[in-house]
Chain A
């Protein structure tokens, strides 16, 4: 069975701190896809990144970076120099080879205070 675990329910940081959101997944598929979504207070989920199982390169996009490690089945998300606008719920998700719908983790609520 496929499963995504986000062990951190809530994280609170002060602006300019770095913060890492953890994501651990389980799957028996050899080909799979991992995603991160952001849900700001407005409610709409915003796509951040997709990673294929055969591409373990880490990725950086501005203040955001992602660390994908198949050996530990983890796909962690780091925000560098956090800002108040980063406050949101962040979801990690998994999709299998069959192309079925996403399996979501329960989300991590990030609060960044000024």
Chain B
């Protein structure tokens, strides 16, 4: 089974802190994604990566950056956390070998609260 893990289920940070959210997948997937989920807005794409050291902006990249130094790990970085970044963050991965749009597998999510 595909396993996508995220470093924390719950996280509380202060405004202005630098925050790292880690995501690791164990299925050798090429593609990895970061979404945020907010009530009434569904899931929105922040950043994605199709390969190591490669990144592409999604729909709402402002205030975020990412890092992909190894194939299995995709990190989301909040350079200076703000209260409007309080949200649920979901990481996902998918295989490119089976076609570009095959299903994405999701991690359990990190609920981040910025106070």
Contacts and interface: CB of A to CB of B under 8 A. Distances in A.
Which among B41, B101, B103, B107 has the highest number of chain A CB atoms within 10 Å?
B101
Nearest to A93: B43
Contacts, number: 56
Chain B interface residue number, banded: 20 to 34
Interface string B29-52: 000010100001111110010000
B101 A104 contact: no
A96 to B, nearest CB: 7
Given A101-B58, A104-B43, A105-B42, A44 B108 contact: yes
Contact of B42 (A43, A50, A91, A95): A91
Contact residues of A: prevailing secondary structure: loop
Given A50-B102, A96-B101, A106 B41 contact: yes
Contacts of A35: 103
Contact of B88 (A42, A43, A50, A101): A43
Given A43-B108, A45-B90, A104-B43, A99 B58 contact: no
Contacts of B111: 43
A32 B102 CA distance: 11
Interface of A: 9, 32-33, 35, 37, 42-47, 50, 91, 95-102, 104-107
